[in-house]
Each structure stands twice: as C-alpha cells, then as structure tokens.
Structure 1
C-alpha cells in the first residue's frame, strides 16, 4: 500500500536512515581537505537518494515516477562507491564500511521491491 506521504515508504525510510548514519558516523571522520571533495559527494549522493524517492512518490503515474526510483538506486550505488573510497583512504574502519555496505545493499533491495510492486500494479491496470 502506498502511504499518505513519501515518509511512509519503507524504501525512503531505509535511505533516510542511511543518510543519517553517513552524516553522524562517517563525515566527521574525514580530514578537512576532503570537505569539498569526498565529503560533498557523499552527502549529495545520500541526499539525492531520499530526494528522488520523494519526487517519484509525488508524480502522478508509475511510468513517470519510475525514473526517479532508478535515479535513487543509482545514488545509493554511488554512496557505496564513495564509502569504498573512504575505506581505502582509511577515513573509516573496515567494520564501519561493512556495516554501512550492508545498509546500502538492504536499502537497494527494498527499493527494488518497491519498483517491482509498482510495476505489477501498473501491469494489472493494462
């Protein structure tokens, strides 16, 4: 069931939790010289993920909204890539990386499930 607002969507909630974790657990560990580089990219990608879900939810038709859900999935993959870079540069520990990686993968799976759900509803209407 589609909720009253995008905030009710499990895929948005999962991406939002990930975004908060990144802000609280990751960004503060980066050196100042990364402020306008990796820090900015990671924040923008995590924000883009939730924003695209919200925008997709606000669209009228699934075919119109689907591209935003795909963009969100791409942003979540981008978050994972930036986290790999942070781990490789030793800005975050392997343990934190693995924990966040699991959250990213889970978030993508939830989003994929939502996309499948909407696709099946759209097929039923045809």
Structure 2
C-alpha cells in the first residue's frame, strides 16, 4: 500500500469526491426552478464532504480538531442523503441512482466513523 501523503491519497476522500461529481452530473437535469434550492443544496453538501476531509487531514496534528472536521464531513454526508431522498421523491433521479448513491454515502460515513474512532492512527 502506498503511503498517504495528502488528503487525495485517502480512499474516503476519493470516494466522496467521485460521489459529489456524480451528483453534479445528475443535478444538471434538475428543473430550473430548483436551481437555488435542491440543486444548490445537494451540490454544496456533497462537495462539503470531501472538502471537510481535506481540512481534517491537515488538522491531524490536533486529534480533537481532526475528529471534529471528520464529524462535520459525516454530517454533510447524511445531509446529502437527505437531499437524495428529496431528489428521488420529486422524480429528479431514478430509484437505482438513489440506491447506488445512498449506499456510497453509507460506506463513506462508515469510513469517517472508523477514522473518528481511531484518530491516533492518523495523527502526526
């Protein structure tokens, strides 16, 4: 396994970034009247997951700060799941896309929780 030098080397970062990009592509087809509500919210929360992971990585010198940023990332992932629920309920995305993305965010949340439980593995 390659050593982790930057946040981009973290599997959880990569997965969250890729999921956010899939949401971006899917949300391009949302109705124009959703531009400043659902579209904006789901894009912001999905992007915030990887953004908070990158910030947490740079705060790993301070375990409490590190775990706090990971917790914020976890909360943003859950918020993204909520917006995905609205998107499928409004028929903006398919049930298959919803299930796939929801499961990806469950995996991301699991990785974040694991990192929070063992901050000593990540501290410098």
Structure 2 length-normalised TM:
0.89
What secondary structure is seen at the aligned counterpart in 2 of 1:3? coil
Contact 1:11 1:114 in 2 (8 A): no
Contact 1:11 1:107 in 2 (8 A): yes
Q: Is residue 13 from structure 1 mapped to residue 14 from structure 2 by the alignment?
A: yes
CA distance in 1, matches of 2:77, 2:122: 25
Contact 2:66 2:119 in 1 (8 A): no
Post-superposition Cα deviations, 1:44-72, rounded to whole Å, max 9, x if no partner, equal: 10111111111111112111211100000
Structure 1 residue runs of 4+, over 3 Å off?
119-122
Alpha-carbon RMSD: 1.8
Aligned residue in 1 for 2:57: 57
Aligned residue in 2 for 1:113: 114
Alignment of 1:1-126 (within 5 A): 3-24=4-25, 26-59=26-59, 60-119=61-120
Specify whether residues 120 and 7 from structure 1 end up closer, same or farther in structure 2 by C-alpha distance, changes over 3 A only: closer
What secondary structure is seen at the aligned counterpart in 2 of 1:102? helix
Post-superposition Cα deviations, 1:85-111, rounded to whole Å, max 9, x if no partner, equal: 000011111111111111111111111
Which structure 1 residue ranges, 5 or more long, are not aligned?
Answer: none
Specify whether residues 2 and 74 from structure 1 end up closer, same or farther in structure 2 by C-alpha distance, changes over 3 A only: farther
Once the 2 structures are TM-superposed, how far is the Cα of residue 28 of structure 1 from its aligned partner? 1.8
Structure 1 length-normalised TM:
0.88
Once the 2 structures are TM-superposed, how far is the Cα of residue 27 of structure 1 from its aligned partner? 0.6
Which structure 2 residue ranges, 5 or more long, are not aligned?
Answer: none
Range with bigger deviation, 58-67 or 29-38: 58-67
